[in-house]
Amino acid sequence: MSNVIISVKDLVKKYGQFEAVKGISFDVYEGEIFGLLGPNGAGKSTSLEIIETLRDKTSGQVIVAGYNLDTHPEEIKKIIGVQLQTSGFYPGLNLIELIGLFAGLYNRKVDPKELLRSVNLEDKAKAKFKDLSGGQKQRFSIATTLINDPRIIFLDEPTTGLDPQARRNLWDLIKQIRSKGTTVIITTHYMDEAELLCDRIAIIDSGKIVALDTTDNLIDALVATGFERPKDIKKANLEDVFIQLTGHALREQ
Ligand code: ADP
Ligand code: MG
């Protein structure tokens, strides 16, 4: 049996009269990549931010690594890594300086060069955040989630706006983080990304979970209903053509 590291029960969030999260329940297992999928406005970020201790809930229960969110939010903060809005990075500081700043906030000693190496940014140590490409900015912000050596990291749409090479590079990084035993919760509305990355998926729509299972089980369940794709799918798609022609290598260095 897998260890439950996050348990969410009957979580509700109201903004005034509007119920953005309508009583969702799910468990996340230690060491998995758990995907929260859903259209814009479904309540993904709200749910994540509540678990991250950044937003108050209206009702329900959240337990993270045995700590109850209501009574031990400080303990939860210590063991999670949260991707900050990139606007939160002082644009004029270089990457080494920014890591020093975050390490100070977390009261942790880190080797900035080692951390940058882990996200393939060692060449950019002296670069300012504002001068990085989109993919580099995302990799750096993932690096900052790792500073406190967290057991769980939260990634809210980490690949939105990236080109295909940068997305693939980020997928590799996220898998690498999982391979070290870190639990990853990710939101996305790219289904290819979810299929490739996530061990299990919760699909959330208008504040409710409408499905929760492994990717394979979700697809098999649909097929079992007699569903068939309307026409034969080609053996490759346009993204395959693009990658074939332009390669996997990152273009941002
Ligand atoms: P998602 O991340 O899935 O796109 P969000 O959690 O950001 O969805 O938002 C869920 C719903 O809650 C949306 O309808 C959004 O407009 C609303 N919402 C989010 N934040 C606030 C807020 N601070 N005040 C009022 N409504 C909000
Ligand atoms: Mg969101």
- Taken in order of first residue, the domains within the chain and their CATH numbers are 4-85+157-229+236-246 (3.40.50.300)
C-alpha span between 65 and 63 (Å, rounded):
7
Q: What is the pLDDT of residue 154?
A: 96
Residue nearest to atom 22 of ligand 1 (CA): 15
Q: What is the pLDDT of residue 253?
A: 55
Q: What is the pLDDT of residue 85?
A: 67
CA of 179 to the centre of ligand 2 (A): 26
Q: Are 37 and 189 in contact (CB under 8 A)?
A: yes
pLDDT values of the chain reduced to their tens digit, one per residue, 253 residues: 579 999 999 999 999 999 999 999 999 999 999 999 998 999 999 999 999 999 999 999 999 999 999 999 999 999 999 987 666 788 889 999 999 998 988 888 899 999 999 898 999 999 999 899 988 998 999 999 999 999 999 999 999 888 888 899 899 999 999 999 999 999 998 888 999 999 999 999 999 999 999 999 998 998 889 888 877 778 888 888 888 888 878 776 5
Which residue's entry shows tokens 């439950």?
Answer: 4
Listed in sequence order, the DSSP H helices in 54-163 are 73-79, 95-106, 112-118, 134-145
Residues 6+ apart with CB under 8 A from 60: 8, 9, 10, 11, 12, 23, 24
Residue type, 93: L
* Strand, helix or coil for residue 71: coil
Atom index in ligand 1 nearest the CA of residue 21 equals 10
CA of 182 to the centre of ligand 2 (A): 22
Residue nearest to atom 5 of ligand 1 (CA): 43
Closest of 21, 29, 6, 26 to residue 198, by C-alpha: 29
Closest of 215, 178, 174 to residue 29, by C-alpha: 178
Q: pTM of this prediction?
A: 0.91
CA neighbours closer than 13 Å in the CB half-sphere of residue 181: 4
